[in-house]
Structures are given as C-alpha cells and as structure tokens.
Amino acid sequence: MRREIPLAITFLAGMFMLVDFFVPHHRVSAAGEELKQWGTIVIAASILLGIGNLIRVHSKKIARRQSGWGFSLVCLSVMAVMLWFGMWPGAKLGPNPLVGSIAQGSYFNWMYLNMDVPLQGTMFSLLAFFIASAAYRAFRLRSPEASLLLISAIVVMLGRVPLGQLLTKGLPEKATLPWLTEAIMTYPNMAAFRGILMGAALGVMAMGLRIILGIERSYLGGEK
Amino acid sequence: MNWLQELFTGAPGTPPSAVWGTWVAGLLTLAIYSFLYKDNPVYRFAESLFVGVGAAYWLAILYHNTLVPKLFVPLFFPPEGQPVLWYRVFPGVLAAFMLLRFFPKLSWLSRWSLGFVVGMYAAVNTTGFAQGDLVAQIHATVTTPLTSGGGLVIALNAAAIVGVIATLIYFFFSKEHRGPVGAAARLGIWFLMVAFGASFGYTVMGRVSLLIGRMTFLLRDWLHLMQ
Amino acid sequence: MAGFDLRQIDRRVIFTLIFVVVAWPLLRPMRLPMDVTPPVQRLYEAVEAVPPGSIVMLAGDYSPDTMPELQPMVISFVRHAFRRDLKIVTTSLWANSPPLIEDALAPLAAEFGKTYGVDFVNLGYMAGGTVTLLGMGASIPNTFPQDYYGTPVAGLPLMREVTNFDDIALVMNVSSGTPGTREWVQQVQGRYRVRLASGTTAVAAPPFYPYVQSGQLVGLLGGLKGAAEYEMLVDAPGDAVRGMDAQSIVHALIVFFILLGNVAYFAERRAQRARGGAAQREVTA
Amino acid sequence: MRALLPALSLSVSVLLALFPPAGRAADAPLSEVVRETAAPAAVTGLQARDYLDNNDRGDKIELSWCLSADDGAGALSVLEYRVWRSQAPDEQGELVATLEPGTAAHVDTGVTPGVAYYYRVEAFDGALSSPAATAGPAVGRINLFQTSRLPVLVLSLAFFAMVIWFTRLAARGTNLFVRRIPGLNAVEEAVGRATEMGRPVLYVPGIGEIDDIQTIASLTILSHVAKIAAEYETPLIVPTARSVVMSAAEEVVKEAYAEAGHPDNYNPDNIRYLSDAQFAFAGAVSGIMMRERPAANLYLGAFWAESLLFAETGFETKAIQVAGTANVSQLPFFVTACDYTLLGEELYAASAYLSREPKLLGGLKGSDWMKVITICIIVAGVVLTALGVPQFGRWFFTQ
C-alpha cells in the first residue's frame, strides 16, 4: 500500500490534467482551476523541504564540529536574523514596518538588496574570467566539427557587438558581421535548435507517459 | 576632498542606510572576487553568507506570497463576505505530508504529496511540450515561406528546413550512420556545430555582461568613479 | 619550444587583463555605433501596437545573478509601457524577482506620475512554476489573491479589470532560466492565445530562435545587446548601452585569446611531429 | 486617462449645446437643434450567438450590431453603448457592459453554459438612451473537446502507442536494434589509455540531483565504466556534489566491481562527496586533477557553468577527456575542449544501449520512429504547400 496509493494519486492527478487540456467543459475547468491552486501549495511545501534540508546539514556540521563548521554557523545565524526581520509576526507596528515585512524599505529588503543581490551577481560574474582563461588555454580547433563551431562562435561574438559593425563598415550589407550573425541565428541556429527541441519534447513526453502509468517510479525513492 | 566625502555620505540626499548598504555590497563583491586569486576564508565566509541569506529570503517570501494568501487566509482568515475555502485543507494536508520526510518513521507519507506533484507536472509538461515544442514546430517548419522574400531568403529558408530534418536524423538511433542516413547525419552535425558556435558566442556575451554589471556597480555606485 | 612558453602564462595575468579591459571603457566611454536587430525591432513594434489604456503583463522570472542583463530590459519595457499609457501587472514565478521589479517600477512610476493599484500592480511571487501559469490561465485573481505587499487584489482597482489572459494585451516575459520563457510559450502562449514577447539572458537566447520564427514569440531581446538596442528604441540609453563598449573590447580580447591559444597549440603539435613524437608524448609530458 | 475622455467629450457636447458656435447655428437646419433633446438613434441588426470557438468553456456569447446612426456623427454623438442581459425576453436584466463609441461587437464572458439569454443594446448620449435593440435567445454551447488541439492528441497518441509497443517488445526480450554510440568507444579507449599509463580514471556524474534523468543516465554509464576499470585494475575516482548521488554511485561502483569479479579492488575512498556549492565543487575537482593526475576525465551528466573549469583544468593536465550532457548551453565548451562529446540525447541513448532496460529502450525506439513520422509530415507538408495545397500544413496550427 505504501507504493500503490502514491502511484494511484500520480495517475489520477496526471490523467485529470491531461483531460483538462483537451476538454473545455466548464465543470472540468472549474475543478482543474482549484486543483492547480492546490498544486502551488504542495509545491511550496517541497521548496520548504529543500530549506529544511539545508538547516539540517549545517546544524549537523556544527554539532559534530566538522571542518568548516564555523562557516555553517555564519550561514545559520545570518539566516535566523533575516528570517526574524522578514517574518516576525508581532511586529506590524506602523504603516511601514521595518520588521516583519518584506516591503521596500524594510530591514529584510535592505538585506536582500545589499547582501543577496551583490553576492549572487558577483558569483556568476566570476565566469567571465574563467571563460577568458579557457579561451586561451582550452578552446581548440581539434577537429573539423570544433573548427566549424569556433568559426561560428567568433563571427557571432564579433557580430553581436558594436565593434563588429565598425570592423565591416563600408562592405556590402550581406557581407557585414552583424548581417552574418543574424543570418546564423535565424537559419542554421534556428534549424538545429528546432530539431533539438522536437527530440527533447519526445523525451519529456515519453517520461510523462511512464510516470503517469506508474512504469517510472524512481522519484518515489529506493526502498520498497 | 569632495570625492572622498561622497564615498562615505553618498550623493546629496542619499539616506545613510543606502550608503551603508552600498559599502556592504561593495565589500562582499570584493570578497567573492578574492576567489580569483585563490580559495580563501574570506571567500568562504561570503559564500556561507550567500547561502544563508538566500535561504532566508526564499522562506520569507514563500510564506508571505504563497502560503499566506493561498492557504492560511482562505482557511483561517477569509476576507469579509467570503466563505472559508474548507477544501484547501486537502492541499494543506499534502503539504504537511511533504514535510514528514524529516521523520523517517512517517516519511512514506510524503510520497502521497510527491505523487500528486509529480503526476501533475508530468501531465502538464507532456501537453505543453507536445503543443509548443512538437506540433507548433512542425507547423512552423511546414509553413516556412518559400515563395516570397527574394532568392537569398528563399534559399536560406529551404536550408533551414533541410537543417531541421538533418538534425532529427542525427539523433536517430535505430540505424547505423552509413550510406544516405550517414550523409544526412553528417549534415546534421554541421548544423549542430554552427548552432553550438552561436550558443558559445552568446554564452561568452552573457558572462561578460554580468562582469560589466558588477564593475558598473563597483566603479559607479560604490566608488563614484563613473560619470 | 625554447625560451618563453606562451602556455605558461598564469591565469591571474589573464584575470587582471580582463579586469582592466572591462573597467577602462566604463571610465572612458567611446560610444561605438549600434544598429537594431530584427527580433528587437519586432518586440518594440508589438508593444507599439497595443492600444493605449490596455493592460500588459510583465512576468519577471529572474534573479540577481543575471540582473545586469535583464534589469535594463525591465526598465525599458516599463518606460515604454508607461509612456504609451499602458497599465502594467507584474507577476513572478521566481522568488527572487519581485523586489527587483519593484526597484525598476518605483522610480519610473514617479517619473510618469503613475499610481499604484490603478496604473500598475506588483502581484509578487507565486510558487508552482508551470502549474501557476495554468492557474493564471483560469483566473489571475484566484492564482494571486494578494499582491506583493499582502493587499487583497479585490482592493486594487486595476485588478478588477483582470480575470485571465483574455484581458492582457501582451505578456513580456523576462527570464533567466526555468521556469521562464520556454514554459510561458508551452503553457500560456498556445493554450490561451497570448501575444508573448521575451527578454532573456544571452545564454538562454539561441534556443528560442525557433519560437521567434514560428511566431510563438512576437519578439526577443537576447542578452545585454538586446537590452541596449531596446534602450535605443525607447530613446533612453542606460546601463546596457553604457556597457556595450566594454562588451566589444572584451569580445575582441577573447577572440584574440582563442586565436593565440590555437597558434601555440598548432606550433607545439608541429614541433612534436618534427621531433617524431606521437600524440603519446603529448600525454606523458 | 480613459475615464477622462468621455467626461471631456461630455462637457464639450454640453457646451456646444448651450453655446452653439456662431457659424454652425446659422447653417444648421432647425430639425437638428431640436434633435439635441431627443434620444440617439437605436442600433440595428443586433445578433447574439454562441462564441464561435469550439474551444471555450461555453461561458461566452458573442454580440454584434450595426452602429447607431448618431455614432460619431455631428454633435449628437453616442457616448457609450450599454449591453443588458436577462433570462426572459421582455426583462431589462443586468447591465453587463458599457462600451465606447465605435464599438459594434462584444463578447459576453460571464454567462452560465447551457442557459438561454436575451440581450438588449442601447446607445446612450449622456442624457438619453436610444430604444433598445433586442436579440436572443442565445446559449453558450458546452464543448466537450478542444478541436483545435486535435493534432496534439493525434500525434501524442501515436507516439504513446509506439512507446508502449516497443517497451513491451523489449520486456519480452525481443532484440531491439540501437546503434552503438561512438562516444562509448571513446570512453572505453580513454579508460584503456589510463591503464597503459598506470594513472587513475576520473568520472564526474554532473552536479544534478539524483532525480535528474541525466544523473540517472550517467549512473548507468558509470556502471559500465566501473566494470572496465575493475577488469583493468585501474583506480576509478568519482567526485560528487550531492550526498544522495554519492550513495547511489557507491552502490553502482561496488556492484560493478563485484560483477567484474574483482570485489576486493573496490575502494570506497574513491567515491567522494566534495561540496554542494557549485564553485567549491569545481575547485575541489580541479584540485583532484592537479594532484592525482588522472589520465582520463569523463564528465557525463547534468553540468552547468562549472563545465568550463573542468574542461580547462583537464586540458592543462593533458588528460583524455570525454564529456556528455543534455544541458545545451554547456555543450560548446565541452566540444572545443574535450576529445569526444556526447551531444544531448546521445547521453540517454548511450544509457539505454548499455542497460537494455525495457522502459528506456521503449522510449528511445518510440522517439526514433516518431522522428521518422515528423520528417515525413514535414516533407509532405512542404511539398503539398508548394503544390498549392496548404490545408495539410495548416491543420497543425493549434492555437
């Protein structure tokens, strides 16, 4: 029973959503609408799961004094402070509360804009450096395919910025880098990605079918 | 020193909290960049901060923007003149089951919630991909204009149709890539490589843009060096 | 190769070079000229075609990490919409977006004299991804019962005019991943016949060209360049246009690195072949 | 703004009525001045019918009419049209819409499906309403199938039938042909090379979670690689970014060593959990490459931005590199920096090829034949359109 009920729920939820797609009957739509609202609530809980997991991993690290437990402490403390700012229920003090609110001007919002935003932004901007280094040390014309790839890449890299426009200024329009770039994007790039899109769609559909029919059960976890 | 003063007080009219904020943001930015020299405790400190702030933000906004309006208000505090949506108890129970994962004895109940979510997503994705990425793309390929736009455009459009077919053949696994199938697959890989080249160029562009964004912050908003 | 080996350059030298090359054009702008590409032009025209007074939706599905690319698009779109007297409803499938959208809306609302609740509404974040999109197809007020600040939507005059996508003249999705533009195309555009435009990161843009060709997207802004072109079209050059000089120079530098690296690579291979060493040598070196 | 306009035009028309411009008063026939106090002309030709779309919920009724003769003509312009709905022919009913001048059609979206309604439309000039035009009964027809989505249903059913058919064939043990993916040869060669050189093999199964199908496919290939490594007695290092993936990888590798007949050679220390954080993980893997100098680096699974760092460091250490991922934006970096790359679907095909699992084979074969059908449709559609028969292609329009 520990497997049959979830599989039955999966089947029913899935089949209903399929019917909802093809049948516009108002009773189906009305039920479908409420079901979709349920979906958002349950999915919200699955996000809570991830955050709970994070707390568990870091508290374990601190409890066992594993290497780097100090960093775990930093992580959990800042989290607690920010949660207090953002969710403290007793703090609806005035028209613009600084605590217990997520609105603009609150402490919570300040922490987000001045800590989360720069940290996230900077983390990914590191990649510009790494790409430059890899461009020099690893991107090679090692085969005809790789060569074709790099040539197309170089055209696009130059043609997509104002510099490319400047470099081929005065040439006939259809020989300029911006035109070539747009042509690459609109024709071969479009065609190849359309092929990939269709193939990927089939993969997703096959997976969906297996899940709804209960052939695919790996998401339920290992034990019987 | 006008500039030095501005560094610590901001442009005229800037509230102190904003100046503070910019300083915090600036120092955290540098802490992350220190990774470029090598992995170090300052970087790891900033990284832990990143994880903590991120999780707290997510939890709070989930509470305020999803759980309160969708679950708590309809169940416990319905707006005046509106009935209690008692049937929201069901997703509430499923949501609670989901959290039972943390209790090994009861974690099997979380599969009910998982089953619900996974089944729904599976169906929604199936129809979405079928309509948007399969049928709509077939339609668009079949109706590619081949009679207007001038010789070059017609040729390029025709080439694009051939490209779609060749790419599909490249990802065909039920036959060896020999003979005509092999030739078509070969053509397919060329199309793929040109497309990946475009992707490469665009990815480089994206990463560089992110760096430009951070540098604009450092040089303008923090250090006031840009006009 | 005797003497100086190009391959021995420390990564940190390259890192420093990149740093300088990005900073320099920001401090000393060159203002290289720039044309507008067709997907951006089409997006601009699609917004121009919306009759004044209509409601458009700004769906922000992004986070701070891609803000440099996407925030200029959000700002330009809001400016464009306000200037044309369109009303804006914003939604987010990404938890990170609402404060960022708020950051773009607040100053522009002040500039154009727009009132919250009447001319624009920020509905905030809703969990659920694709399922939320379908919920909006049935009823936007039921899917977002409150706005970002917790005000019930029944209390917002603008939201009384909105039931579902039938009331939305155009959706502008600004996205940096999943759920994002692909989900909007799959779940909303075809299913509810919505005019959908998209602004995405450069990384995400190339796979969306099939959607542009098929008309599933009425226009596409790809990365900072797309944002810069849009800024030019709405006649308000900002961070994106300002970044284009640096972008140009760094691209040139990276192309130079690729060429230089390959020259070194082929020189080394030739040298090895001359010594009679096979690829084996290369691996054991 | 929109609220202002009618108010503005109202006040203008009131002003005009009170103080007619000199020229106009002189020219205007008397009758027109008299008509100022009369109601505007009624609309004509009002029709109400089910919204012409087989795909709605049946909650829409479409109205159309011809504009009032006074719409936009002269000073006596219509300010708005008022639409009333009732369930009896002679009732006034409920006001459901007020529309701007120049509007000659309306879709009433608030009706209960299957119920008969009567409609009245009046032209209103700010003071008086025209006689009402009436129409009805009209019923919002309940639809049972979205006909525009028929192509989606047909193609999906065809595809599902093939998937189920091939899955059953595979389950019965029928030998379904799948061509060998060249990338697998490259993987085997790489492991062989590492053995010759007496150096370890590094296998990174991506940074995806365990429920990512790419991770699952990668673990299948890992099992294959582990068997070869066990036979050759070459150490196999598997760094992971998720603790659950680590336990799964442990199982897979241990089992493979046992199957290859070398259970004693299995070294649990080589299956490592490094870090959940993306760049910390990338840094730690690069460290392994520099210190332990694996001669073959295999990156198969779900990769994001860290792909670049792996490929670069691996290139530096001169290892043979084979990569594979379905994350398209990372493929270009792998193609240019690795010796062989499995592109997108090839990763799944390789895992189906190796595992021979019926559900994977069924999906793969079904997809294959669906691709053939797709190609046939495209060719047929393009040819027919060129021959002047565009209907076939248009049938696939689903919006």
Got the DSSP string for D279-296? HHHHHHHHHHHHHH--SE
| D 75-114 residues with CB < 8 A to A | 113
Scanning A118-157 for CB atoms below 8 A from C yields 118, 120-121, 123-125, 128-129, 131-133, 135-141, 150, 154, 157
Residues B33 and D117: their CA atoms lie apart, in Å, by 69
**Would you tell me how many other CB atoms lie within 10 Å of the CB of residue B9?**
11
- Based on the fold, state whether residues D293 and D381 are members of the same structural domain: no
Residue D391 CA to its chain's centroid (Å): 25
Mean pLDDT (chain A) is 89
Q: Which of these, D222, D182, D214, lies nearest to D304 by C-alpha position?
A: D214
Which of A36-40, C237-241, D14-18, D234-238 is least confident? D14-18
pLDDT over 70 at A55, yes or no: yes
Q: Does residue A77 belong to the interface with chain D, where contact is any CB pair within 8 Å?
A: no
Euclidean distance between CA atoms B54 and D226, whole angstroms: 38
pLDDT for C226 beyond 70 = yes
Q: What gap in Å lies between CA B207 and CA A129, rounded to an integer?
A: 9
pLDDT at D89: 81
Q: Which residues of D touch A29 (CB under 8 A)?
A: 57
What's the pLDDT score for residue C112? 97
Which residues have a Cβ under 8 Å from the Cβ of A37 and sit 6 or more positions away? B70, B88, B91, C135, C142, C143
- Cβ(A14)–Cβ(B116) below 8 Å: no
What per-residue confidence (pLDDT) applies to C2? 39
CA of D121 to nearest chain C CA: how many angstroms apart?
A: 21
Q: C32 and A162: CB-CB below 8 Å? A: yes
Give the per-residue pLDDT at B226: 84
Average pLDDT over residues B148-171: 95
List of chain B residues whose C-beta atoms are within 8 Å of the C-beta of residue C26 = 212, 215-216, 219-220, 226
Measured distance CA(A11)–CA(B152) in Å, rounded? 51
The pLDDT of residue D76 is 62
Q: How far is CA A202 from the centre of its chain?
A: 21
Condensed to tens digits (0 to 9), the pLDDT of residues C98-137 reads 999 999 999 999 999 999 999 999 999 999 999 999 999 9
D-chain CB neighbours of A149 within 8 Å are 332, 335-336
Q: Three-state SS string across B139-203, please?
A: HHHHCCCCCCCCHHHHHHHHHHHHHHHHHHHHCCCCCCCCHHHHHHHHHHHHHHHHHHHHHHHHH
DSSP C188: I
Q: Of C56 and C12, which is predicted with more confidence?
A: C56
Nearest CA in chain D to C262: D336
Report whether pLDDT(A224) > 50: no
CB within 8 Å of D19: residues ≥ 6 apart: none
Tell whether D215 and D135 lie within a shared domain. Answer: no
Cross-chain residue pair D58–A137, CB shorter than 8 Å:
no
| Cα–Cα distance for residue pair B58/A51, rounded to 1 Å | 8
C128 chain-A contacts, CB cut-off 8 A: 36, 39-40, 43-44
> What are B170's two structure tokens?
């490249």
Contacts of B99 in chain A (CB under 8 A): 45, 48-49, 52
Q: Which residue of B has its CA nearest to D176?
A: B174
Q: Nearest CA to C72 among C237, C208, C205?
A: C237
**Is residue C262 classed exposed, middle or buried when 0-12, 13-18 and 19+ CB atoms within 10 A define those classes?**
middle
Q: Which of D320, D336, D371, D375 to mutate to test the interface with A (most CBs of A within 10 A)?
A: D336
Q: What's the CA gap between B50 and D104, in Å, rounded?
A: 58
Confidence (pLDDT) at C7 = 59
Cβ atoms of B203 and C211 closer than 8 Å = no
> Residues 142-201, chain A: which have Cβ within 8 Å of B?
145-146, 148-157, 160-161, 174, 183-201
In A, residues 175-214, which contact C (CB 8 Å cutoff)?
178, 182, 185-186, 189-190, 193-194, 196-197
Q: What is the pLDDT of residue C1?
A: 39
B156 pLDDT higher than 50: yes
CB contacts < 8 A (C, D): 22
Burial class (CB in 10 A: 0-12, 13-18, 19+), B118: buried
Q: Which residues in chain C (172-231) have CB-CB distances under 8 A to chain A?
A: 191, 206-207, 209-210, 212-213, 223, 225
pLDDT score, position A221: 65
Q: What is the pLDDT of residues B121-148, one digit of tens each?
A: 999 999 999 999 999 999 999 999 888 8
- Copy the structure tokens of residue B209: 């843009």
pLDDT digits (tens, 9 = 90+) for A139-162: 999 899 999 999 999 999 999 999
Read off φ and ψ for residue C109, nearest 5 degrees.
-60, -40
Cβ pair B210:C65 closer than 8 A: yes
Residue C102 to residues A102, B130, D78, D176, Cα–Cα distance (Å):
12, 35, 41, 56
> Residue C5's pLDDT is what?
57
Give the tokens for residue D256. Answer: 């493979």
Nearest by CB: D197 against C189, C204, C284: C284
Across the interface, of D156, D312, D359, the residue whose CB is closest to A138 is D312
Pick among D106, D397, D399 to test the C interface (most C CBs inside 10 A): D399
Q: How far is CA C66 from the centre of its chain?
A: 8
Q: Is the pLDDT of residue B48 over 60?
A: yes
Amino acid at B150: G
Rounded-to-5 percentages of helix, strand, coil across chain A: 80, 0, 20
Same-domain status, D17 and D126: no
Rg (CA), chain D: 37
Residue of chain A whose alpha carbon sits nearest to that of C11? A133
**With 0-12 CB in 10 A as exposed, 13-18 as middle and 19+ as buried, what is D27?**
exposed
**Are D232 and D247 in a shared domain?**
yes
Min mean pLDDT across B196-205, C233-242, D128-137 is at D128-137
Q: What is the rounded end-to-end Cα distance, in angstroms, of chain B?
A: 17
| pLDDT at residue number C276 | 59
The minimal CB distance from C142 to the residues A37, A118, A125 is found for A37
When pLDDT is cut at 50, 70 and 90, the band that residue D75 belongs to is low
Same domain for D259 and D344, yes or no, is yes
Peptide bond just before D182 cis, omega within 30 deg: no
Alpha helices (runs of H) in B34-109, residue ranges in sequence order: 41-62, 73-76, 89-99
- Burial of residue D179 (CB within 10 Å: 0-12, 13-18, 19+) is middle
Which residue from A150, A159, A186 is spatially nearest to C225, judged by alpha carbons?
A159
Is residue D187 domain-shared with residue D277, that is, in the same domain?
yes
Give me the pLDDT at residue D209, please.
85
Length of chain A equals 224
Which tens digit of pLDDT belongs to each residue from C242-266? 999 999 999 999 999 999 999 988 9
Distance between CA atoms of residues B130 and C14, nearest Å = 46
Chain C residues closer than 8 Å to D2 by CB: 53
Cis peptide bond prior to D137, omega within 30° of 0: yes
* Confidence at residue B96, expressed as pLDDT on a 0 to 100 scale: 95
The verdict on a CB contact (< 8 Å) between C283 and D2 is: no
Q: Residue B176 pLDDT > 60, yes or no?
A: yes
- Within 8 A by CB and 6+ apart from C108, the residues are C75, C78, C79, C82, C114
Rounded to whole angstroms, how far apart are CA atoms D134 and D43?
A: 10
Residues 197 through 216 of chain D touching chain A, CB cutoff 8 Å: 211, 213, 216
Taking CA–CA distances from C255, the nearest residue in chain B reads B201
Residue-level pLDDT at D23: 39
CATH number of the domain enclosing D238: 3.40.50
Q: Which residue has the tokens 């051939």?
A: B162
Asked whether D76 and D70 are in contact (CB, 8 A), the reply is yes
In a domain? residue D251:
yes
From A46, which residue of chain B is nearest by alpha-carbon distance? B98
Nearest alpha-carbon partner for C153 in C108, C113, C122, C132? C122
Cβ–Cβ of B198/A152 closer than 8 Å?
Answer: yes
Asked if residue D399 belongs to a domain, the reply is no
Chain C contact for A158, CB < 8 A?
yes
Going by C-beta distance under 8 Å and a sequence separation of 6 or more, which residues neighbour residue D3?
Answer: none
Residues D130 and D220 in one domain: no
Answer whether residue D3 is part of any domain. Answer: yes
pLDDT at D25 over 60: no
Task: Name the maximum alpha-carbon separation found in chain D.
Answer: 114
Nearest CA in chain D to B203: D329
On whether any CB of chain C is under 8 Å from the CB of B126, the answer is no
Note down the domain range covering D156: 147-166+362-394
Could you tell me the two tokens for D344? 């997108």
Query: Which residue among B130, B196, B211 places its CB closest to the CB of A201?
Result: B130
Kindly report the backbone phi and psi dihedral angles of residue D44, in degrees, each rounded to the nearest multiple of 5, phi listed first: -125, 165
Q: Would residue D210 count as lying in a domain?
A: yes
Instruction: Tell me the sheet residues that pair with D80.
Output: D124
> Do both D48 and D195 map to the same domain?
no
pTM of the model: 0.90
Domain identity same for D201 and D350: yes
- The Cα–Cα gap between A127 and B208 comes to 8
Mean pLDDT of chain B: 92
**Comparing A172-176, B167-171, D50-54, D77-81, which segment has the lowest mean pLDDT?**
D50-54
Better pLDDT: D141 or C62: C62
Instruction: Specify if D115 maps to a domain.
Output: yes
Q: pLDDT (tens digit, 9 = 90+) per residue, D114-166?
A: 888 998 888 887 777 777 888 878 888 788 888 889 999 999 999 999 999 99
Q: Which of A40, A74, C253, C24 is nearest to B212 (CA)?
A: C24
Contacts of B47 in chain A (CB under 8 A): 71
Rounded distance between C-alpha atoms, residue A179 and residue A165, angstroms:
9
Q: CA dist C32 to A20, A165, C72, C225, Å?
A: 53, 9, 19, 13
pLDDT-based confidence at residue C279 (cuts at 50, 70, 90): very low
Residue D171 forms part of a structural domain:
no
The 3-state DSSP composition of chain D as helix, strand, coil percent (nearest 5) reads 50, 20, 35
Enclosing H/E stretch for D204:
strand D201-206
pLDDT, averaged across chain D:
85
Min Cα–Cα distance to chain B from C161, Å: 20
Q: Is residue D12 part of a domain?
A: yes
Cβ of B129 within 8 Å of Cβ of C186? The answer is yes
Percent of chain A scoring above 90 in pLDDT: 63
- Whether D318 and D333 have beta carbons less than 8 Å apart is answered as no
- The total number of structural domains in chain D stands at 4
Residue D279 placed within a domain: yes
* Range with the poorest average pLDDT among B197-201, D48-52, D294-298: D48-52
Q: Residue C86's closest chain D neighbor by CA? A: D1
The answer to whether B20 and B222 are in contact (CB under 8 A) is no
Interface chains of chain B (3 or more CB pairs under 8 Å): A, C, D
Which pLDDT does position A96 carry in this prediction? 54
Subunits with 3+ Cβ pairs within 8 Å of D are A, B, C
Is there a contact between C68 and B139 if contact means CB atoms under 8 Å apart? Answer: no
A-to-B residue pairs, Cβ atoms closer than 8 angstroms: 382
Q: How many CB atoms lie within 10 A of CB D132?
A: 16
Judge if D58 and D112 occupy the same domain. Answer: yes
Q: Which residues lie below 8 Å from residue D360, measured CB to CB, with a gap of 6+?
A: D348, D351, D352
Which of C53, C203, C285 lies closest to D329 in CB terms?
Answer: C203
Q: Do D221 and D290 belong to one domain?
A: yes
Q: Distance (Å) from the C-alpha of residue B117 to the closest C-alpha of chain C?
A: 9
Report residue A203's pLDDT band, with 50, 70 and 90 as the boundaries.
Answer: very high
Is D58 a residue whose pLDDT tops 80?
A: no
Residues D312 and D338 in one domain: yes
Residue D126 φ then ψ, to 5°: 105, -25
- Give per-residue pLDDT as tens, B73-100: 999 988 888 899 999 999 999 999 999 9
